[in-house]
Structure 1
Amino acid sequence: MIDWIIAQQGILSLSLILLIVSEHFFTSRLGASLTYKLWALIPGSLIVNNLPLSMVSIPSNSFSRYVVGVKPTVNTVAFETWFTLWAIGACIITAYVLVHHISTWTSIGKRRAIHTNAYYSSKAATPMLFGFIAPKVLIPFSFKSTFSKQQQTLILEHENVHRKHYDHLWNTLALTIAILFWFNPLVWLALKSFRINQELACDDVVLKNKTEKEKLTYAKALVQCAEHCSRTITLYPTFGEKTTMIKRLNAIKQPIRSNKVLAASVLSVAALLTINTALANVPLPPPKAEANMDKSKVNEASPVKRVPPIYPEKAEQNELEGFVVLSFDITETGATDNVKVVKSQPAGVFDKSAKVALKQWEYKPRIQGGKSVRQTGLLVQLDYQLGPKLDTTNAEKNASPDVERIIIPPETK
């Protein structure tokens, strides 16, 4: 899991930076609707980055030899520790989301308000669209006394535009991505920019054919909502969010005019980013055979951390020697995976010791097309030897010439 999360950071961060910059500097030139639609680049790039084509493994069956006990050249932190830290953070945020959602849900009154899809709620400081699947418009109990009838109509129209845009689903997806990648600060900056674009896109639809007087009425309602807006963190966009109010008021005052050239440029950058992600996942064709080409160098996997296997105590006491041939993969992050025993002698004596050790080994991942790729079909032979002499006739007879052989003496305990 942690391998997959780390592998997404490159394309995710690039996409987030592009969209944050677009929201901050180019919304007024791109248009509210287009800028909001550009956020589809995030799930799109993640999907492209995880197409089945990107999971094509690069087989590698040749190793360079090395000696057991060499000090690792890179001191890496165990991925289990990172996974634990990630899981703790994700669980805390998920718990907060659930508590907030349940609290808001229980606050909804049974009686519908002035609109068929609007309900009173003690948790709604300002009108908002609540719910991940079947959304409801929630309004505060002071809704009628605070806003005029015209303002009420415009506010409810705004919330229903959210529903028509399926913003409740997009907000669910955005929140899911934020939980998965909570440790990336760009995710939280992007979530704020996403909310701003979302509100601007709804305002654009609501005010598209409205008169100047109606626009002024809408702006006043926006300011009134901002005055009553809670300062606490909310999971759902509310009509009067203070963080978006200034930009929304400016957009009402100076209507957004889209620049077609700039829009085409941004779309081109987004398209190139997506295409480049897809092409990076395509494995390069195998190199042509050439004279004097050393295949072991082509497929070399560089170890950066290796944990010596422990010589089983019972095997040492019974003066047993033998070997274990293991097959394994190297993930995109350099961790070993899919460790399996191919052959062992004596059967079952050294299997557990060999697998436990190999699962903790780490390698420098292979880079291809500018991106790390998974390698499969790797073989290693661990020879368990009590003394300086070991009859390896049977081991050598059954092992491939491409299998790396390592001597495991009892001293490695």
Structure 2
Amino acid sequence: MIDWIIAQQGMLSVTLTLLIITEHFFTQKLGASLTYKLWLLVPVCLLLNNIPMSIVAIPSNDFSRYVVGITPTLTTRDAAPLFITWGIGVCVITAYILVHHLTTWASIGKRRAVHTNAYYSSKATTPMLFGFIAPKILLPFSFKSTFSSAQQALVLEHENVHRKHYDHLWNTIALTVAILFWFNPLVWFALKSFRINQELACDNAVLKNKTENEKLTYAKALVQCAEHCSNAITLYPTFGEKRTMIKRLNAIKQPTRNSKVFAAGILSIAALVTINTALAKVPPPPAKAETKINEAAPVKHVSPTYPTKAAKNNVEGFVVLSFDITETGATDNIKVVKSAPTGVFDKSAQVALDQWVYKPRIQGGKGVRQTGLLVQLDYKLSDTP
């Protein structure tokens, strides 16, 4: 698992950096709707970066042979501490999200606040769309006393646009990415930029055909919400989120000036990122016979343990294993091809090979998985191969 997590970081970091820069500097030129849609690059690139290895991996016919003695040197796999640390972070963040979700769910009143799918909640300091699957609009108890009838209609329209855009599902995907890659600071900066683009796109859809007076009413509602908005971190889009307020008010004040040429340039860059991610998984043409590229030799070799029962009974034998080398050099997909005596040394051989580390094969500046490697471990009670 940790190998997979590490293998995503290069592509993910490049994609998130591009999107963060776009949100910070180019939203006004691209338009709120298009900028928000560009975040589709994240799940698309993640999918392309994980095309099944059986389709794109480089096959290898390398065959290695090692002798196993009765005095092995055992070491622990270096990735174990990283996996434990990553797992702790995932559990802590997931637990926080679950507790926040359950406490908010428990605060929802049974009666609808208005004729739409909206309910009062003691946890809602400002109107918000709550839920990941079947979302509800949550309103603070002061909703009707704080806003005029016109403002109430605009606020509810805003929340319903969130639902129409399926923002509850996109937020679920965003939180999933944040949980899996919590250690990457770019993920959290990107989550903030994503939410800003989400709110701007929603405002743009609500105000698209509104009059100047209605836009002013909407802006006043935003300011009123910001005054009552809690500073606590929220998992769901809220109407009066303070972190997005300035940009949202500026977008209402200064209409977007879409630049078709600039939009075409950004879309071209996005297409190049996507194509590069897809082509990175395609193996290059096979090397010439006389050229050796990264010959498969372990840089970390862990000798198997000679089974105690086999040593006492003077049993010798061998195990032939097939395996893959991942993009980071770890072993994967280990299977026993043949062994003699059957089942005596299999487990010992698999446990040891799982801890071997190879120099990864590099093609086009990136690590490429190798498949179909074979290794034979000869279990000998003497030093003669």
> How does the TM-score come out when normalised to structure 2?
0.92
Quickly say closer, same or farther: Cα 1:219–1:54, change in 2 above 3 A: farther
Matching of residues 355-394 of structure 1 within 5 Å = 355-389=350-384
1:307 Cα deviation (Å)? 0.9
Quickly say closer, same or farther: Cα 1:226–1:350, change in 2 above 3 A: same
Matching of residues 190-339 of structure 1 within 5 Å = 190-289=190-289, 293=290, 297-298=292-293, 300-339=295-334
**Which of these two proteins has the greater Rg computed from alpha carbons?**
1
Specify the code of the residue in structure 1 equivalent to 2:125.
Answer: A
Query: 2:101 and 2:335 mapped to 1: Cα distance?
Result: 45
1:263 Cα deviation (Å)? 0.9
SS in 2 for 1:383: strand
Q: Which residue of 1 aligns with 2:95?
A: 95
1:58 Cα deviation (Å)? 1.7
1:157 Cα deviation (Å)? 1.2
Query: 1:2 and 1:55 mapped to 2: Cα distance?
Result: 22
SS in 2 for 1:372: strand
SS in 1 for 2:334: strand
SS in 1 for 2:80: helix
Q: Which residue of 1 aligns with 2:51?
A: 51
Specify the code of the residue in structure 2 equivalent to 1:110.
Answer: K
Query: 1:127 and 1:333 mapped to 2: Cα distance?
Result: 46
Q: Which residue of 2 aligns with 1:154?
A: 154
Query: 1:322 and 1:285 mapped to 2: Cα distance?
Result: 39
Report the count of equivalent residues.
380
Q: Which runs of 4+ in 1 moved over 4 A?
A: 63-69
Query: 1:388 and 1:209 mapped to 2: Cα distance?
Result: 85
Query: 1:241 and 1:76 mapped to 2: Cα distance?
Result: 48
SS in 1 for 2:220: helix
Q: Which residue of 1 aligns with 2:72?
A: none
Q: Which residue of 2 aligns with 1:112?
A: 112
> How does the TM-score come out when normalised to structure 1?
0.86
Given the alignment of the two structures, is residue 342 of structure 1 paired with residue 337 of structure 2, yes or no?
Answer: yes
Specify the code of the residue in structure 1 equivalent to 2:146.
Answer: T
Instruction: Please identify, of 319-328 and 236-245, the stretch whose mean Cα deviation from structure 2 is larger.
Output: 319-328
Quickly say closer, same or farther: Cα 1:170–1:352, change in 2 above 3 A: closer
Given the alignment of the two structures, is residue 39 of structure 1 paired with residue 39 of structure 2, yes or no?
Answer: yes
1:114 Cα deviation (Å)? 2.4
1:300 Cα deviation (Å)? 1.3
1:99 Cα deviation (Å)? 1.3
Specify the code of the residue in structure 2 equivalent to 1:134.
Answer: A
Query: 1:195 and 1:386 mapped to 2: Cα distance?
Result: 64
SS in 2 for 1:198: helix
Query: 1:215 and 1:76 mapped to 2: Cα distance?
Result: 63
Quickly say closer, same or farther: Cα 1:105–1:210, change in 2 above 3 A: same
Q: Does the aligned pair in 2 maintain the 1:64–1:300 contact within 8 Å?
A: no
Q: Which residue of 1 aligns with 2:81?
A: 81
Quickly say closer, same or farther: Cα 1:355–1:216, change in 2 above 3 A: same
Quickly say closer, same or farther: Cα 1:54–1:199, change in 2 above 3 A: farther
Query: 1:172 and 1:128 mapped to 2: Cα distance?
Result: 15
Query: 1:51 and 1:385 mapped to 2: Cα distance?
Result: 41
Specify the code of the residue in structure 2 equivalent to 1:338.
Answer: N
Query: 1:209 and 1:343 mapped to 2: Cα distance?
Result: 72
Quickly say closer, same or farther: Cα 1:274–1:76, change in 2 above 3 A: farther
Q: Does the aligned pair in 1 maintain the 2:322–2:374 contact within 8 Å?
A: yes
Indicate the structure whose relative CO is greater, using CA pairs within 8 Å and at least 6 residues apart: 2
**Any gaps of 5 or more consecutive residues in structure 2?**
70-74
Percentage of pairs with the same residue? 77
Query: 2:167 and 2:158 mapped to 1: Cα distance?
Result: 12
Query: 1:187 and 1:268 mapped to 2: Cα distance?
Result: 23
1:264 Cα deviation (Å)? 0.9
